[in-house]
Amino acid sequence: MTRTSSAPAVTRASSALLRAPVAALLAVLLAASGVLLGAGGAQAAGYRYWSFWEGDGKSWAYATQGPSLVRPDDGTVQGFRFAVSEDSADADRPRHAPDFGAICADTPAKGGAKRVALVIDPGTAEDAPTGEKPAALRTACAQVAPDASSAEALASVAKPLRYDSSAMICAISGYPKTGCGEQVSGDGSKKDGSGKDGSTKPSAPEASSAPAADDGGSGGGPSAGLLLGIGAVLLLGVAAVFQARRRR
């Protein structure tokens, strides 16, 4: 009778001892997942810069080359937008239709020159650097030499321009006064409802302008998924030991 009654007691004690580490491990995993996922959200950030766009008469597409490389044809429409965004897929488009006829209506064609319609959008106060105020959006019709680049067309109507060493546009018409593609805190989400454009990220370093997007935001450490996966394996292992001992 003594042996029969003591066995269940030992089993219950062993089960209790095993359940405690299982519960503790599960709690640690849940806490770790919250911290890791929360850290990922906190690390999201955007970049403040002038993006470069090409219009087709109806919509805008993010340029795949920088303005110093592009040689636009006569009748081309191009746009520049200052805003905060994470990458080219998240960038704000110019808030004006790419309408060559309307923009260059008062600039007649001239032999030995081409016309390039430009939309220059300094963006919103929310995206402006501290202490600065964006000017109003404006359009211009640049009349330049047939072989002029987009950068030269822009310079003819929107001086002063400022570039960095990689040929990225830092300022148009002197705005902003300082800074160039700097990272800013926040998630780079839309602020003016202009929506997203699906164009691909520029392939050339100077291509307009967007800084390269983060390749994972992990900072070199293990990802949340990897850590949670390891934890799940450990949890299954403890559970297997628990089940094996219950069958004894």
User: Chain centroid to CA 214: how far?
Assistant: 8
Residue 19 pLDDT > 90, yes or no? no
pLDDT averaged over every residue in the chain: 75
Range name among 74-88, 119-133, 207-221 with the lowest pLDDT average:
207-221
Range name among 53-57, 198-202, 237-241 with the lowest pLDDT average:
198-202
Write the pLDDT tens digit of every residue in 85-114: 988 888 999 999 999 999 999 999 999 999
**Which of the pair, 234 or 181, is modelled with greater confidence?**
181
Write the pLDDT tens digit of every residue in 33-45: 454 444 444 445 7
Residue 121 pLDDT > 70, yes or no? yes
Check residue 90 and give its pLDDT. 87
Distance CA 79, CA 140 (A): 10
Residue 247 pLDDT > 70, yes or no? no
**C-alpha pair distances (Å), 225 with each of 29, 36, 37, 121:** 11, 9, 10, 41
Task: Assess contact for 181 and 170: CB atoms under 8 A.
Answer: yes
Identify the CA nearest to 91 among candidates 99, 103, 83: 83
DSSP letter (8 states) at residue 164 = -
**Which of the pair, 18 or 151, is modelled with greater confidence?**
151
